[in-house]
């Protein structure tokens, strides 16, 4: 069982954010979480956190289709930044397009591709290390 202190959700869909937060609370998934509403918002906030050695999230749930900066663009920028902590990234998308799944495989930092909806079970499996 892994211990997650800080979880990060990058998603533009308020319903998903509401649901994911609630599920995390219900399952005791983490102690706290931060939310960014698109890739740019996330990069702009995470970058200084990483550079100033502030506490970083243990995991990131990353949506693909977002306005301004999408999930792929976020990943491309994110992997350029030196991190003092290992961050596990899960892509959480409702796309079941095989092209997206293949593309996700190309990123070393991406642990898995979770097809929405996420459920309590999904979160448990992340905690249990089986995802």
Partner 1 sequence: MFIPNTQIKSSINLLDFIQERASIGTWEYDPISKNLNWSNETKKIHELPLDYIPDLQQGISFYKEGYSRNTITQLFTLCIESHIDFDTEVLIVTPKKKDKWVRVIGIAIIENDKCILVQGLFQDIDKKTKNAKELAFKEQQLRKTFETALIGMAIVDLEGNWIDVNNSLCNILGYNKVEIKKLTFMDLTHPEDLRRDHQALMRMIKGELDDYEIEKRYISKNGETVWAQLSVSIVKDNLGQPEHFVAQINNVTQIKKNRKKVSQLLETTKNQNKRLLNFAHIVSHNLRSHYGNLDMLLDIVKIDLPETTNNEIFPLVELAVSHLGETLTNLNEVAAINVQKDLKTEPLNLLNSFQGALSSISALIRESKTTVSIDIDTDLFILGVPAYLDSIILNFLTNAIKYKKATEPAKIEIKTNISNDFVVLEIKDHGQGIDLKKYGDKLFGMYKTFHRHEDSRGLGLFITKNQIEAIGGKVEVSSIVNEGTTFFISLKKYA
Phi, psi of 67 (to 5 degrees): -75, 170
> Which single residue is written with the structure tokens 């399952």?
27
Stretch that binds partner 1, among 17-25, 33-41, 75-83, 104-112 (CB under 8 A): 17-25
Residues 6+ away with beta carbon under 8 Å from 102: none
Give every strand in the sheet of 110-115, ordered side by side: 32-36, 6-10, 59-62, 88-93, 110-115
Q: Which of these ranges, 37-45, 68-76, 83-91, 115-123, lies near partner 1 under the rule CB under 8 A?
A: 115-123
| Minimum gap (Å) between residue 48 Cβ and partner 1 | 30
22 scored as a contact of partner 1 (CB under 8 A): yes
**Interface with partner 1 by CB under 8 A: which residues?**
13, 15-16, 19-20, 22-23, 26, 65, 93-98, 116-120
């Amino acid at each position: 069982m892994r211990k997650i202190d800080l979880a990060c959700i990058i998603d533009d869909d308020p319903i998903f954010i509401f649901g994911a937060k609630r599920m995390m609370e219900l399952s005791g998934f983490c102690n706290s979480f931060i939310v960014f509403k698109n890739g740019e918002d996330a990069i702009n906030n995470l970058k200084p956190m990483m550079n100033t050695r502030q506490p970083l999230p243990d995991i990131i749930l990353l949506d693909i289709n977002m306005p301004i900066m999408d999930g792929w663009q976020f990943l491309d920028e994110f992997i350029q930044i030196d991190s003092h902590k290992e961050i596990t990234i899960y892509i959480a998308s409702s796309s079941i397009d095989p092209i997206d799944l293949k593309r996700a495989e190309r990123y070393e930092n991406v642990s898995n591709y979770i097809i929405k909806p996420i459920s309590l079970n999904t979160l448990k499996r992340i905690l249990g290390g089986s995802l």
